[in-house]
Chain A
Amino acid sequence: KAGVTQTPRYLIKTRGQQVTLSCSPISGHRSVSWYQQTPGQGLQFLFEYFSETQRNKGNFPGRFSGRQFSNSRSEMNVSTLELGDSALYLCASSLRTASTDTQYFGPGTRLTVL
């Protein structure tokens, strides 16, 4: 079974621009969660989508948004990029039959904001 895939793997943007990251979950998984990893803050939860609905949201500004499509693929958008948005963005998928179902992570998208 193919794992979680994320595209693109690397991205360079400038301040003020916007960016869209994509995540394809493991086949059959309906939940996709997004996380941000930075050296200072570590791994932080952004939001979770399940059945095309946002089910849970972390403590991030409204510039961070996402959506999920009917095939469970998910996109994450960051508008008006700031230098501090430079990070590794990870998505994770799970079956979501219970909140404790194992989350499987993709390799991440490394975003650099100049």
Chain B
Amino acid sequence: DQQVKQNSPSLSVQEGRISILNCDYTNSMFDYFLWYKKYPAEGPTFLISISSIKDKNEDGRFTVFLNKSAKHLSLHIVPSQPGDSAVYFCAAILNQAGTALIFGKGTTLSVSS
């Protein structure tokens, strides 16, 4: 039973436009959410995170929004660049379960120039 779901396996966006990646979760006890980016033959790279007590966190071109009532979070990338093309993973942490990251299956973002 998947607790973190990324329902769109892929997303294509033009350079300069906004990319919106979505993530849904089922466990309302999750304390913390993160986004990782992964290029082929590399490990995931941390992008941005948000605590469950916040609804928005921004870091440069990346903004994460959290809607707890809908159990939904999204990552906005503005403006999108070709170098952003990668697989994006949403992950969650349940504090009482330690540091285990629970990942979604990822969304492949392709940014064309």
Contacts and interface: CB of A to CB of B under 8 A. Distances in A.
A101 B101 CA distance: 11
B46 A102 contact: yes
A58 B94 CA distance: 13
A48 interface: yes
Contact of A58 (B31, B32, B100, B105): B100
Given A100-B93, A103-B46, A45 B100 contact: yes
B93 A42 contact: no
Nearest to A45: B100
Looking at chain A's contact residues, is the secondary structure mostly helix, strand, loop, or mixed? Answer: strand
A interface residue count range (under 10 / 10 to 19 / 20 to 34 / 35 or more):
20 to 34
B97 A56 contact: yes
A43 B89 contact: yes
**Which 9 A-B residue pairings sit nearest by Cβ, starting from the closest?**
A105-B43, A56-B98, A43-B103, A45-B100, A42-B105, A100-B32, A99-B99, A105-B44, A107-B43
